[in-house]
Amino acid sequence: MSTKRRSFGKLRQLPSRRWQASYAGPDLQRHVAPVTFEGKGYAEKWLENERQLIEREEWTPPAVRAAAKRRQDTLTIQTYAEQWLRTRKLRASTLRDYRHLADDVIVPGLGAKSLSKLTRADVRQWWAELDPSRPRTNAKAYSLLRTILGTAVDEEEIAINPAQIRGAGATKRTRAIEPATLEELATIVEAMPPRLRLAILLGSWCALRYGEIAELRRSDIDFAAGVLKVRRGAVWLKGQTLSGPPKTAAGSRNVAYPPNMEQVIRDHIAEHGQWGKDGLLFPSSSGRPIQPSSFYKPWNKARLAAGRPDLHFHDLRHTGAVMAAQEGATIAELQARLGHTTAAAAMIYQHAASGRDKLLAERLGRRMTGGAS
């Protein structure tokens, strides 16, 4: 066994003929290399790297760095993604969507891989093996993965973001939506249970989202102004019903309903609405907003009765937008009515006058009853 003193650090040859390196750090403690070295030159190189870290003021104790590396090697994509979701301040609906993408798309292919060892090749292989029949879901999952890995870069868990597939986060809508006809809408309404018929009318003629309809309350109906006050939406996350404001300021809006619907709304509230100003228009048996699973069973039967098995409930909103456009609604008016923040093709959002929306609703009412516009 031999020991050699140096200007920085100390080398020691062990009985095994391997070399041990150590030095006194800025904390005045002696630090020993976490491994021994086969050759003297390797030990000297380790000491030189440590000296450079001290000079650059980037030094931390070797044992601390070794523990951090061990943690990095065992930190998987699944664990880090879960931490990321848990620490983000996200709306309930956004969290629900992100968890679906993480659990169903990202984790099955990448979850077990070490975050620090994830490569571009790993990401490309995962991307290539995704279900090609779900391009929009795949694009959203890739965007989420890239965002999560971007946070890992910011937190110095990894040096570079390995999600580098050009165009993977963008996709075009592959499903062409065919609006429902007036006859189809009438058939669907008639086929629905009486307590749910108004939901079809609100989804189409007022272009409301399902979550917005489920959260409507008595106080949201302004009969004097002829408008629905959209201020909340319901989302369902792991069996829980959560209510919150719209995602954007534009989503919080007043929507004028066709005058022909006023008596229908009044009758529905009287027969099916909860009592009190905060009473729900569409309560479940438990008194909460009606869950999609309870609504879609009769909805599926109704759309089949209309010969439209392809029609999604959200397509009623598209139907309403098309009918409003046919009645002369401008881009700005459609944005205001639908609660969009921006127009398609990057057109600048403009506020629509409330009086014009009222006129638009009156025209929709005439169309609803088959009259001339």
Catalogue the active-site residues.
209, 314, 317, 340, 349
Q: Which amino acid is at 72?
A: Q
- Minimal CA–CA distance to 237: which of 39, 94, 28? 94
Contact between residue 36 and residue 13 where contact means Cβ atoms under 8 Å apart: no
285: Cβ–Cβ under 8 A, 6 or more apart, which residues?
none
Cross-strand pairs, 16: none
